[in-house]
Amino acid sequence: MFPLLLQISGWTADLQRLDWIAAVTLEDLFVASGVLLLLFLAYRALSRKRFIENLAPSTCAGLTVGMCRLEARAAHTDATPLLKTPHSDSLSVYWSVRVEDQFEVREEEWHASGRKRQRRRLEWRLVEHRTSRNFFWIEDETGRVEVDLQGAQVEAAVDYCEVARQGDRRFRQISRRRPIKGSTGLRRVEVRAIQPGESLFVVGPARLTTEGDRLRIGPGDWHDPVYLISHRKIDAIPTGYGRWSLMLFTVAMLLAWWWFGALDVWGGLPPGNPLSSGATRSPWHLLPLMLTAGSAALLYLKIMVDGLIELRHRVQRAWSMLDVELA
């Protein structure tokens, strides 16, 4: 009997130590999950910014195997002649066509007064997407190099855009596909193209071709943190990643701080609502705030460590290139 009582008392002590689990509500877990997701996206954007900034700029003739960063002009060869862009008939080295149908979406949302109302929202859904080719060439003053677009994020300038209504002659000319059931009858076509001689910013992996006698940029895969081909300026891309990371981190901090109770924006809700200031708040509403602060510190340290590792690799590559030149 005595051993049984000791065992029951041990179970009771264990349950008392786990009382904090019962204090964590479902809303706490949802907010904590949202905060962690926002922090992960912020970390991903900031790591891409640091990665692009840490890459040393290169030229077409000075490429080495590995990740590269260069600015060059779009070019064409006899093997890759100029293309006729759909709808605009302009000449390009690469184009992509995106056809979308418009839909009306009705969503229900709760007003601050406690009443439910419907909100009407319009969105575009993809009907057709096609591209011209999977590769083209870029060149600068030192030479030219082939770019394989497989796995790349291509940001080309808009060359043509048009919206047509079902029943018009242009509606069928935009795309032969039937309209999606439930659409509003509007169809939009957007054509993006890379013109010959257009300045491009490329960040991606340089690899040997199957012949082994030259380098080619791409194709990208999950091992490559970034594979980007953009018509934007060099400084605009890291700046955009930095702003996006700062916005996500700010939203995560505000969400966690509001849930802790410092920002009471739901004061008008009934006292029984878990989102109102009159509801009973357990000390474990600190959970999202603690997760935000701890995760932010760990992610910042990881970014700094990754930056130092990348700088060490750059120094090693530079010394290896000097050894090759001396040999």
Highest mean pLDDT: which range of 137-151, 209-223, 248-262: 137-151
What are the extents of the domains in the chain?
Answer: 23-54+235-327, 68-232
pLDDT in tens, 293-326: 777 777 777 777 777 777 776 677 667 666 666 7
Distance of alpha carbon 231 from alpha carbon 197, whole angstroms: 11
Distance of alpha carbon 207 from alpha carbon 143, whole angstroms: 17
pLDDT in tens, 182-215: 888 899 999 999 999 999 999 988 888 877 678 8
The DSSP call for residue 87 is T
- Encoded amino acid at 264, one letter: D
Cα 303 from chain centroid?
17
- 271 Cβ contact list (under 8 Å, min separation 6): 278, 279
- Take residue 194 and report the two structure tokens written for it: 């890379």
Distance of alpha carbon 152 from alpha carbon 218, whole angstroms: 8
Asked which of 38-52, 88-102, 286-300 is least confident by mean pLDDT, the reply is: 286-300
The DSSP call for residue 97 is E
Q: Which of 107, 105, 109 is nearest to 122 (CA)?
A: 105
Q: Which of 1, 8, 66 is nearest to 320 (CA)?
A: 66
Which pLDDT value is given to residue 37?
87
- The verdict on whether omega for the bond into residue 219 sits within 30 degrees of 0, i.e. cis, is yes
- 238 Cβ contact list (under 8 Å, min separation 6): 49, 52, 53
Distance of alpha carbon 134 from alpha carbon 125, whole angstroms: 24
- Take residue 87 and report the two structure tokens written for it: 């709808």
What DSSP letter does each residue of 227-258 carry, written as one string? -EEESS-TTHHHHHHHHHHHHHHHHHHHHHHH
Overall average pLDDT of the 74-78 stretch: 87
Distance of alpha carbon 52 from alpha carbon 240, whole angstroms: 12
pLDDT in tens, 124-147: 999 999 998 888 999 999 899 999
Around 325, how many Cα atoms within 13 Å sit in the side-chain half-sphere? 7
Q: Which of 134, 152, 156, 145 is nearest to 70 (CA)?
A: 145
The DSSP call for residue 57 is E
- Take residue 316 and report the two structure tokens written for it: 């090693």
